[in-house]
Amino acid sequence: MTPAEARSRIVALRAELARHDELYYRRAQPEILDFDYDRLKRELAELEAAHPELAAGDSPTRRIGDDRAEGFARVRHRQAMTTLDNTYDEGELREFHARLAKLLGSEDLAYVIEPKIDGLAVSLTYEHGQLTRAVTRGDGEEGDDVTANVRTIRGLPQALLDTAPPACIEIRGEVYLRWSEFERINRLQEEAGLEPYANPRNLAAGTLKLLDAAEVAQRRLEIVLYGLGHSEPAELFVSQSACQGQLAAWGLPVVEKFWPARGIDAVCAAIRELDEKRRGFAYGTDGAVVKLDRCDQQRTAGFRGEGQAARKLSPRWACAFKFAPDRAETRVNAITIQVGRTGALTPVAELAPVQLAGTTVKRATLHNADEIARKDVRVGDTVLVEKAGEIIPAVVAVLVEKRPPECVPYVFPQTCPVCGTAAVRAADGVVWRCPSPACPEKVRRQLTHFASKACLDIDGLGEEIVDLLVSRGLVKTIPNLFRLQLADLLPLKKSGEVWAGNLTAAIAARRSADLWRVIHGLGIPQVGAASAKDLAARFRSLAALATADELALMSISGIGEKTAQAILAWLAEPAHRALLAELEAVGLQPTPPPAPVAGSVAPLAGKTIVLTGTLPTLTREEATAKIEAAGGKVSGSVSKKTSYVLAGEEAGSKLEKARTLGVPVIDEAELLRLLGGS
């Protein structure tokens, strides 16, 4: 490769990795598998090593993203959260051991092998035995404060079982979701006509970053703890196995099993045993973590990249061995197109059935037109399919050498396969959509969503009945539902009087449904239940929502620019304005949330309030919303300018600071009184 070629490949790889980082970390919607990501990243590292003159100071050499999101307070880790180097190769694992053996002057090193849990790294702080904080990894130095959300995890003790606990200790682990919980939530998603989550890890990540702890509590997040960060006193344990034992004795959830091993052959044998057992574990396990057992040896080995940013440090005393994903070869019999609720056209490979990781795989997503073109997937091709996170099958590569000569490149349809309307592509996006408001498949999915539990919750109006109503031409739009008469329904079922009576009554009863449910049911891109609630509180009617402008939307805390733009684009469609008008015309009178006291001046106008600790009834987000609705501002740090510190249980250093600065401290009851509540 010439230097010019290397340069252009390096630039391309960096851009591609940056895009995948964005998809993985910020949007929790990865397009490629970890395995392929790691391959790209390794190619970049090799090119940079061969051309040091082209290496950028901060180019990614491993998945070192930054999970920080809007809406959370930032907290610095007392000790940085580093990450591990991955390998898929036994040879590299042996090199890892050889380096350590040389450094420590012994072949006979004691290791522990732990499952590598496929979750989300968090750091918990226990002060004098009490859980005071939970923070995501963030950039390794500073993460998001997710304490309220982590407190909803059943099975995580708020206090350590210890009569003389350490003064302060950071305990590291992973938040995850069980397969069964992942499947349960995805069933609800699908019932609501929403996209299912790609894998438990993404769903766990999305859940931990919800701004409403009450919503988090409805999904059963779990946690497993495996290590230490900062501790006071320092050097609490002599070994990793002693640390594991103490975590368990404190009553914390720990890994099902870890394997002590002496020497590299025993390490490899333990990893093989883990590979056999891991499918029975509660969490997804994508590899093994090999750690030097003795803490004094860990300290001697130290970190690679010392003196650099935390996200670039990696311990020399630990290594992640990742299991290659399950793959199988099969034939693409057809490529079909699924039409989603928003009209998105998603290509799906219909496969010759193949056994993969214990299940039969017949279909695999191809994501979008660009992905098909990039991989050049054709009908008739032999492809490799893989179960990403052991769940959603994906086509990872085409075996071009097996391509029959008659295979022609796939041409993405220019029209909706259901209604024939010309497809359109949003200026910024990769997704083609059917723009027709009358597309029966779109209508079917929209109605199912509108009637689902998450939205209007119309009893007896599930997918099957929606199909029936749409196929008979009785319902073509959401407002049509409210015009259904008994006489329309009676011919649909033999002796269907009771059924028809119940259904019309159930629909009529929802004319006064909560406004946020109706807004959620409209299916505005980017608007889920939480944003729908914000919109309902601000606009209080569909008519007012129809007049929303950018300024009004951006002034709502919780609605970011992307959501605001999506709402404006949706409202700009004449068909959508007509839909809102029509809903009023059919007598839909949604109920807005309770109004703020009429005529009252904003009681907290000009006040800045800092929150600390856990409040007895309000979540952090609820308290923030109330303060903001009353004209106040919430700030993350205490200064002389702070008007009040709102302190709950287990309030931390902010409370001390308030006392030193003489800032008034209030509790929840006092806040409610200030708001004019009681």
DSSP for 347-400, written as a single string: EEEEEEEEEETTEEEEEEE--SHHHHHHHT--TT-EEEEEEETTTEEEEEEE-G
- Report CA-CA distances (Å) from 440 to 420, 433, 477: 11, 14, 9
Dihedral sign, Cα of residue 150, residue 151, residue 154, residue 155: positive
User: Does the protein bind ligand IVH through residue 117 (CB under 6 A)?
Assistant: yes
Is the Cβ–Cβ distance between 449 and 521 less than 8 Å? yes
Nearest residue (CB) to ligand IVH, 321 versus 644 = 321
Alpha carbon of residue 106 to chain centroid: 44
Determine which residue in the list 157, 263, 315, 462 makes contact with ligand IVH, applying CB under 6 A: 315
Shortest distance (Å) from residue 533 CB to ligand IVH? 33
User: Does the protein bind ligand IVH through residue 116 (CB under 6 A)?
Assistant: yes
Nearest residue (CB) to ligand IVH, 321 versus 570 = 321
CA 390, CA 664: separation in Å to the nearest integer?
53
Determine which residue in the list 47, 65, 80, 82 makes contact with ligand IVH, applying CB under 6 A: 82
Stretch that binds ligand IVH, among 79-87, 123-131, 143-151, 358-366 (CB under 6 A): 79-87
Stretch that binds ligand IVH, among 81-89, 363-371, 512-520, 530-538 (CB under 6 A): 81-89
CA 460, CA 447: separation in Å to the nearest integer?
13
Shortest distance (Å) from residue 320 CB to ligand IVH? 5
Is the Cβ–Cβ distance between 133 and 76 less than 8 Å? no
What's the longest Cα–Cα distance across the chain? 88
Is the Cβ–Cβ distance between 418 and 439 less than 8 Å? yes
Shortest distance (Å) from residue 119 CB to ligand IVH? 7
Give residues with Cβ within 8 angstroms of 136, minimum separation 6: 67, 68, 120, 121, 122, 123, 143, 144, 146, 208
Tokens of 651: 């309030």
β-sheet bridge partners, residue 335: 349
Instruction: Return the ∠ at Cα 207 (arms to 206 and 210), rounded to 5°.
Output: 90
User: Does the protein bind ligand IVH through residue 84 (CB under 6 A)?
Assistant: yes
Nearest residue (CB) to ligand IVH, 184 versus 257 = 257
Regarding beta strands 633-635 and 608-612, do their DSSP bridges make them parallel or antiparallel, or are they unpaired? parallel
User: Does the protein bind ligand IVH through residue 318 (CB under 6 A)?
Assistant: yes
User: Does the protein bind ligand IVH through residue 174 (CB under 6 A)?
Assistant: yes
Tokens of 474: 């009785």
Stretch that binds ligand IVH, among 110-118, 367-375, 493-501, 538-546 (CB under 6 A): 110-118
Residues in 243-302 that interact with ligand IVH by CB under 6 A: 289
Q: Judged by CB under 6 A, how many residues of this single chain contact ligand IVH?
A: 14
Residues in 193-232 that interact with ligand IVH by CB under 6 A: 226-227
Nearest residue (CB) to ligand IVH, 84 versus 456 = 84
Shortest distance (Å) from residue 62 CB to ligand IVH? 8
User: Does the protein bind ligand IVH through residue 148 (CB under 6 A)?
Assistant: no
Stretch that binds ligand IVH, among 6-14, 21-29, 115-123, 398-406 (CB under 6 A): 115-123
Q: Could you tell me which of 402, 532, 87 has the C-alpha nearest to residue 267?
A: 87
Regarding beta strands 665-666 and 142-144, do their DSSP bridges make them parallel or antiparallel, or are they unpaired? unpaired
CA 58, CA 64: separation in Å to the nearest integer?
11
Determine the residue type at 474: L
Stretch that binds ligand IVH, among 76-84, 385-393, 463-471, 585-593 (CB under 6 A): 76-84
Is the Cβ–Cβ distance between 478 and 513 less than 8 Å? no
Nearest residue (CB) to ligand IVH, 35 versus 570 = 35
Shortest distance (Å) from residue 78 CB to ligand IVH? 15
Known catalytic membership, residue 640: no
Nearest residue (CB) to ligand IVH, 227 versus 393 = 227
Shortest distance (Å) from residue 176 CB to ligand IVH? 9
Nearest residue (CB) to ligand IVH, 82 versus 446 = 82
Shortest distance (Å) from residue 307 CB to ligand IVH? 17
Catalytic residue among 116, 312, 442, 533: 116
Give residues with Cβ within 8 angstroms of 517, minimum separation 6: 455, 456, 457, 532, 590
Nearest residue relative to ligand IVH (C-beta): 121
Stretch that binds ligand IVH, among 315-323, 329-337, 425-433, 510-518 (CB under 6 A): 315-323
Determine which residue in the list 36, 48, 114, 181 makes contact with ligand IVH, applying CB under 6 A: 114
Stretch that binds ligand IVH, among 41-49, 116-124, 514-522, 605-613 (CB under 6 A): 116-124
Shortest distance (Å) from residue 116 CB to ligand IVH? 4
Is the Cβ–Cβ distance between 15 and 54 less than 8 Å? no
- Report CA-CA distances (Å) from 271 to 88, 102, 473, 593: 12, 23, 59, 55
Tokens of 6: 């290397």
Is the Cβ–Cβ distance between 368 and 353 less than 8 Å? no
Shortest distance (Å) from residue 185 CB to ligand IVH? 22
Residues found near ligand IVH in the complex (CB under 6 A): 82-84, 114, 116-117, 121, 174, 226-227, 289, 315, 318, 320
Q: Which residues are catalytic?
A: 116
